[in-house]
Every structure is written in C-alpha cells, then in structure tokens.
C-alpha cells in the first residue's frame, strides 16, 4: 500500500511539473527548468531506468573529480544533503532539465552518495 501511494505521489508531482513547465518550442519562452527526483526499491531497477534516459546517456559521464566537486557543492548549499536524498529510499535518481546548454543533469545517488553524473 505504501508503494502504491508513493508511486501515485511521484506521478502526480511529475505530471504537474510537466504541465506547468513550458516546452522548448513555445514562442516567447527564454528559459525553463524541470526537476524530478525518482526513488527506487533497489539498485538494479534504478540502473535499468537510467539506461532508458538516452538523451543523457549519449553524452559523456562526468569523471570522479567532477562528481566529488558537485557533491561538495550540494553539501555546502544544503547541509546533510545525503540525508535528504535518503528520505524515501537508498536509491535515488535526480533529473534536472534546463534550456541552457551545459546545465541539464542526471545524477544517481546510492545511500545518499553521488555515484554517477551526466551533464550536458
């Protein structure tokens, strides 16, 4: 029952974010961003979902130094960041899509630690 409620909440948030956010081809739109946080039961399900995100995966994954830098920036902006992403599950994927080039990110957290990062 808890999983069904969680899935319904995620779907409700995702659909409201999609409908509330302007799309790329809309006249007059200068920029936009859409954020999603998706929680998974296990690492295998999270990895399978990551592989479906072709627009991110076709770009190069950030190296370990870049991941450490991004993790330290997030930790300085929001103390206890790793605890925040673990509120729902040990396996969390965060998607940030932006109209600005170089600002869209797909990040994968395992037990609150940033383990994979794609950026374009």
Give a yes or no: residue 53 inside a domain: yes
Give a yes or no: residue 23 inside a domain: no
DSSP H helical ranges for the chain: 2-20, 43-51, 54-57, 64-77, 81-85
pLDDT of residue 22 exceeding 60, the answer is: no
% of the chain exceeding 90 in pLDDT: 32
Range of the domain at 54: 30-119
Q: Which tokens hold the place of 34?
A: 């859409």
pLDDT of residue 24 exceeding 60, the answer is: no
45 or 10, greater pLDDT? 45
Split into its structural domains, the chain has a count of 1
Give a yes or no: residue 19 inside a domain: no
Give residue-wise pLDDT tens across range 37-88.
999 999 999 999 998 988 888 888 999 999 999 889 888 988 888 888 888 8
Give a yes or no: residue 24 inside a domain: no
pLDDT of residue 103 exceeding 60, the answer is: yes
Give a yes or no: residue 21 inside a domain: no
Whether the pTM exceeds 0.85: the reply is: no
d(CA 94, CA 105): 8
Residue 1, Cα to own-chain centre: how many angstroms? 25
Give a yes or no: residue 90 inside a domain: yes
Give a yes or no: residue 107 inside a domain: yes
pLDDT value for 40: 94
Give a yes or no: residue 37 inside a domain: yes
pLDDT of residue 106 exceeding 90, the answer is: yes
């Amino acid at each position: 029952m808890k999983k069904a409620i969680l899935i319904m909440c995620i779907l409700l948030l995702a659909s409201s974010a999609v409908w509330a956010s302007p799309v790329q081809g809309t006249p007059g739109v200068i920029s936009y961003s859409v954020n999603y946080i998706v929680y998974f039961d296990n690492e295998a399900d999270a990895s399978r979902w990551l592989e479906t995100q072709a627009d991110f995966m076709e770009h190069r994954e950030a190296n370990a130094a870049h991941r450490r830098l991004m993790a330290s920036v997030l930790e300085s902006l929001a103390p206890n960041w790793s605890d925040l992403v673990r509120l729902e599950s040990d396996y969390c994927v965060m998607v940030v899509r932006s109209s600005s080039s170089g600002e869209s990110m797909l990040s994968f957290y395992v037990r609150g630690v940033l383990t994979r990062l794609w950026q374009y």
